[in-house]
Amino acid sequence: MSEHKIMDHPLIKHKISLLRDENTGTRDFRVLVEEIAMLMGYEALRDLPTELVKVKSPVCESMQPMISGRKLAVVPILRAGLGMANGILALVPSAKEGHIGLYRDEVTHEPHEYFCKLPENIEERLVILPDPMLATGGSAIQAVDFIKAKGCKNIKFMCIIAAPEGFEALKKAHPDIDIYVGTLDEGLNENAYIYPGLGDAGDRIFGTK
């Protein structure tokens, strides 16, 4: 049974409001994206299995829970997903990292793939797919198509802001994946930008235009 979750934590809400502010500069924007990804990652990784292992404290030996050997891969969707990757990796430092490069055509809004490099044995791993923006859903759907074609079955997509259109499209195309959304916005404008949104996430993270 897949999980679809919209975050409900005041810290996440506060930080997303700061991200939206057009006066938030590149440096603060990057820090906020990473912090939000970490807070969301805490929620998204809630179901990681644990196993009891022997731990010897200064007082005695006992059996204590540790994350069991499930392999993880964090695969940000370039470019903007890169901004979230380190926040998640801070929680699971031994996870491998892959990359899928997609850009949206400015006129058709269709995603185009330009890069892909994935860790070995990707099909055995839980794959976390971060991208701050889920607008039409085209990029996320294509990235999940791609990961599934490599044999992956356990996929968690994470975004900071989703438009209802993209959220519905992703759930319909891939009902079997978990989806974590920082906040659900009102909709898409005529350029398929999320409103109120935060503008172009990649440009704001990397300081490009």
Return the active site residues. 104, 108, 200, 203
* Residue 134 in contact with ligand PRP, rule: CB under 6 A: yes
Q: Is 73 exposed, middle or buried (0-12, 13-18, 19+ CB in 10 A)?
A: buried
* Residue 194 in contact with ligand URA, rule: CB under 6 A: yes
Closest C-alpha among 143, 156, 134 to residue 113: 143
* Residue 135 in contact with ligand PRP, rule: CB under 6 A: yes
The residue whose two tokens read 């801070």 is 90
Q: Which does 111 bind (CB under 5 to 8 A by kind): ligand PRP, ligand URA, none?
A: ligand PRP
Closer of 91 and 136 to ligand URA (Cβ): 136
Name the minimum Å distance from CB 180 to ligand URA.
18
What residue is closest to ligand PRP based on CB?
Answer: 202
- Region binding ligand URA by CB under 6 A among candidate stretches 69-77, 122-130, 151-159, 196-204: 196-204
Q: Which does 194 bind (CB under 5 to 8 A by kind): ligand URA, ligand PRP, none?
A: ligand URA
Closer of 95 and 133 to ligand URA (Cβ): 133
* Residue 133 in contact with ligand URA, rule: CB under 6 A: yes
* Residue 80 in contact with ligand PRP, rule: CB under 6 A: yes
DSSP the chain: ---EEE---HHHHHHHHHHH-TT--HHHHHHHHHHHHHHHHHHHTTT--EEEEEEE-SS-EEEEEEE-S--EEE-PEETTTHHHHHHHHTTSTT-EE-EEEEEE-TTT--EEEEEEE--TTGGGSEEEEE-SEESSSHHHHHHHHHHHHTT--EEEEEEEEE-HHHHHHHHHH-TTSEEEEEEE-SEE-TTS-EESS-S-HHHHHHT--
Contact residue for ligand URA among 44, 135, 152, 179 (CB under 6 A): 135
Closer of 108 and 121 to ligand PRP (Cβ): 108
* Residue 183 in contact with ligand PRP, rule: CB under 6 A: no
* Residue 201 in contact with ligand PRP, rule: CB under 6 A: yes
Contacts with ligand PRP, residue ranges (CB under 6 A): 77-80, 102-104, 109, 111, 131-140, 166, 192, 200-202
